Amino acid sequence: AQSVTQLGSHVSVSEGALVLLRCNYSSSVPPYLFWYVQYPNQGLQLLLKYTTGATLVKGINGFEAEFKKSETSFHLTKPSAHMSDAAEYFCAVSEVYGNKLVFGAGTILRVKS
């Protein structure tokens, strides 16, 4: 069975600092990996995805993530945090031949001025 672990339920950074949100997954088949962001009282918005090919993927709002098979990780980064990045971030995995998303527990990002 697939699973996702997000280390740190809360992450706090200063504005302009590096953002690093950690995600590790387990999957018995090559995974598809996703990062979603959820702002308060809103739905989930796709930040980026990894399917096949280049392991460093770039998403919206300056975010990027790197798929590392040997570490079963898909950490999300952004070089410089902005106040508008404050939200909850979810990492998710799906099977190559399946179609359900398995989500991590989420990480709340707080950006301090």
Q: Is 19 or 102 the residue whose CB approaches another protein more closely?
A: 102
C-beta of 1 vs 113, nearer to another protein: 1
Rank residues 4 and 81 by Cβ distance to another protein and give the closer one. 4
> In whole angstroms, how close is the CB of 22 to another protein at the nearest point?
17
Cβ-count burial of 25 within 10 angstroms (0-12 exposed, 13-18 middle, 19+ buried)? buried
By the criterion CB under 8 A, which residues form the site for another protein?
32, 34, 36, 38, 41-46, 49, 51, 88, 90, 94-103, 105-106
Nearest approach, Cβ of residue 110 and another protein (Å): 15
Written in H, E and C, the secondary structure of 11-73 is EEEECCCCEEECCEEECCCCEEEEEEEECCCCCEEEEEEECCCCCEEECHHHCEEEEEHHHCE
